[in-house]
Amino acid sequence: MRAVKEKIHPKWFPEAKVHCACGSAFVTGSTMPEIAVEICSACHPLFTGQQKFVDTAGRVDKFNQRVSAAKKKQDEAAARKAAKDAQKAAAEAAV
Ligand SMILES: [Zn+2]
């Protein structure tokens, strides 16, 4: 007796190999003999409890660069304002 109807099901690989980008690999059942994944239960933040960025296009880097550029501008503006305030205070003290 067969469990499934013939000729309508794809080929089943009971020992399909799954490779993750993190280096871990495991075996599962699949219709594909080999599977490459970017994230798995060994490296997903849900299981590791650690923050991790899945960054394939460098978007996180770009964002961090923008953040540091904005911070630099803010610091420069604050320094200018402080110098201006000091000048103003000195001018008022001289009067
Ligand atoms: Zn992984």
- What CATH number corresponds to the domain at position 48? 4.10.80.400
Residues 33 and 50 grouped into a single domain: yes
Instruction: Give the range of the structural domain holding residue 73, as residue numbers without chain letter.
Output: 56-95
Instruction: Kindly give the distance from the C-alpha atom of residue 32 to the centroid of ligand 1, in angstroms, as a whole number.
Output: 19
| Counted domains in the chain | 2
**pLDDT tens-digit profile, the chain (95 residues):** 567 888 899 999 999 999 998 899 999 999 999 999 988 988 888 888 887 776 667 787 888 899 999 999 999 999 999 999 999 988 888 87
Q: What is the DSSP string of 20-82?
A: ETTS-EEEEEESSSEEEES--TTT-HHHH-S-----SSSHHHHHHHHHHHHHHHHHHHHHHHH
Question: Residue 43: its pLDDT value, please?
Answer: 87
Residues 25 and 62 grouped into a single domain: no
Instruction: Kindly give the distance from the C-alpha atom of residue 63 to the centroid of ligand 1, in angstroms, as a whole number.
Output: 24
Residues 50 and 63 grouped into a single domain: no
Question: Residue 49: its pLDDT value, please?
Answer: 85
Residues 13 and 50 grouped into a single domain: yes
Question: Residue 1: its pLDDT value, please?
Answer: 57
Question: Residue 20: its pLDDT value, please?
Answer: 92
Instruction: Kindly give the distance from the C-alpha atom of residue 40 to the centroid of ligand 1, in angstroms, as a whole number.
Output: 4
